[in-house]
Structure 1
Amino acid sequence: MKISKAMHEHADWVSADTSVSDIANLMEKDDIGAVPVGKDDKLIGMITDRDIALRVVAAGRDPKTTTAKDVMTEGIVYCRTNETVEDAIHLMDQKKIRRLPVLDDNKRLVGMLSLGDVAHSVGRDLSGELLHAVADHHA
């Protein structure tokens, strides 16, 4: 199955100078756990609810003055609409990530692919293997 058939369409992204407070509000409003971060019309990173918890709250930083670029995970791992869900599963497994931004042929963000999307798109065996791989217990 193509990623374009499994992904959530119309993903939002935020600019690198967006406050963490605004990002957390977006996450709450849209019921999401990760938001891509862009600068100069290019994706440069990802900020997750875990990034906010560990790099802002636990570190005692002010979410109103801390920006996405201050706490995001730099670099971005993504997939393309024309790839298969199996391709995405291998990438998620290899990188130990749970969400992938989806880019089209013009390198535009057109959606997000999550573990949940994968679970609804492929058989239990394959989605179970992915879940086990990315949720591997830390030693």
Structure 2
Amino acid sequence: MNVSEAMHKKAQWVSADTPVTEIARLMAKGDIGAVPVGKNDRLIGVITGRDIALRIVASGRDPASTLAEETMTAGIVYCRTDEAVDDAIHLMDQRKIRRLPVLWS
């Protein structure tokens, strides 16, 4: 089975210049814990609820004036829709990650 048959197809993403408050609202509305971040039509990172808690709230930064690019985890690992699910699972296990964004092939 390919990843395209198993993935969540309505994923949302934000641009690098999106304020963290807007991302938190998106997460709350969609009941999601991670949002991919893009810039110049490329995936550049992911921002999680944990990123917001530790990098913004715990450090006393203003989420309204802090942008996604300043908060996200860079160096994102991803797969493509035409890859086998077993390969995606192996990649997640190998990299010790819980979320794997999927790019359309």
Letter matched to residue 72 of structure 1? M
Q: Secondary structure at the match of 1:11?
A: coil
Letter matched to residue 58 of structure 2? A
Provide the alpha-carbon RMSD of the alignment: 0.8
TM-score (norm 2): 0.96
Structure 1 runs of 4+ aligned residues shifted over 6 Å read none
- Deviation string, structure 1 residues 38-78 (Cα, Å, up to 9, x no partner): 11111111001110111111111111011101110112210
Tell me the equivalent position of 1:49: 49
Tell me the equivalent position of 1:136: none
TM-score (norm 1): 0.73
- Deviation string, structure 1 residues 68-124 (Cα, Å, up to 9, x no partner): 01110112210111111111111111111111111112xxxxxxxxxxxxxxxxxxx
Q: Distance in 1 between matches of 2:4 and 2:82?
A: 7
Q: Distance in 2 between matches of 1:65 and 1:95?
A: 32
Indicate the structure whose relative CO is greater, using CA pairs within 8 Å and at least 6 residues apart.
Answer: 2
Tell me the equivalent position of 1:111: none
Letter matched to residue 4 of structure 1? S
Unpaired stretches in structure 1, ≥5 consecutive residues: 106-139
Q: Distance in 1 between matches of 2:96 and 2:61?
A: 27
Tell me the equivalent position of 1:132: none
